[in-house]
Amino acid sequence: MRPKKILILDYSVARDETPAIKRWLPADTQVSALYIDTERSFPDELISRDFTHVIHSGSALSITKTAPFTSKAVDYIRSARDKGVSQFGICYGHQLVCLALVGESAVRSSPNGLEAGWRSVTLTSYGRSILGVGETEVVWQMHFDEVTEMPEGSELLATNAHTEIQAYINREQRIVGTQFHPEFDKEAGDRAFLQDRELLERSNCDVSEIVAGGPSIEAGRIFFNYFLGEV
């Protein structure tokens, strides 16, 4: 069996995504990570490296604003897809993948505003069947932007009243995307909410109420194991 070589493209401003993701990855995989914040930080020759799986992280950046690295990221996502590399996009990364493979019309600022907290999503029958989860599960959410159109041939895995496309899979293009953050467990998720208390309170969110909640599943284990084993 070909060994799994995983690349984490970490777009997080606080550089907190890589450790949160790594803790869920099997010990027998080779994991590399790059922090991406400038055009120069995205290597021109990256597509020539022999990664089997790429994880595009979340970020405090908005997909509606072009970042210094956006053009390179878009080119890389398209080239990786054409090369047959499996890709997983999380929140900003999920939006970035759809921007690359569908176009600018696929992403927008959410008309429902901020979604933050330990929030419920409803799994589709297909999502439940392949992931082995319940019809409703609670996961970590923090986003202002959303995806409105999935790459052609995708199947919806999860949804809710705030954001229709909460998770999807595209087997032909070897892509998984989640609007929510499966990498955050209760401890890491609450820590992030507390660090962003000022932002959340400006958006009329009660942080004490938020951290009183928690996840219903180990989303990191479920989603990353599925991604690495089946996509």
Q: How far apart are CA 60 and CA 28, in angstroms?
A: 31
- Residue tagged active-site, from 17, 115, 137, 183: 183
Contacts 24+ apart (CB under 8 A), 72-77: 72/39, 72/42, 72/44, 73/9, 73/36, 73/42, 73/100, 74/99, 74/100, 75/100, 76/42, 76/46, 76/47, 77/101
For 133, how many CA atoms within 13 A lie in the half-sphere containing its CB? 26
- Residue tagged active-site, from 56, 94, 162, 181: 181
- Residue tagged active-site, from 91, 98, 143, 162: 91
**Eight-class DSSP state of 181:** B
91 assigned to active site: yes
198 assigned to active site: no
Question: Containing H/E element for 198?
Answer: helix 197-202
Residue 117, by phi and psi: left (phi above 0), alpha (psi -120 to 50) or beta?
left
From the list 24, 29, 18, the residue with the least C-alpha distance to 59 is 18
From the list 155, 216, 229, the residue with the least C-alpha distance to 180 is 216
Please classify residue 27 by burial: count the beta carbons closer than 10 Å to its beta carbon, then call 0-12 exposed, 13-18 middle and 19+ buried: exposed
Give the CA radius of gyration of the chain: 16
Please list the active-site residues. 91, 181, 183
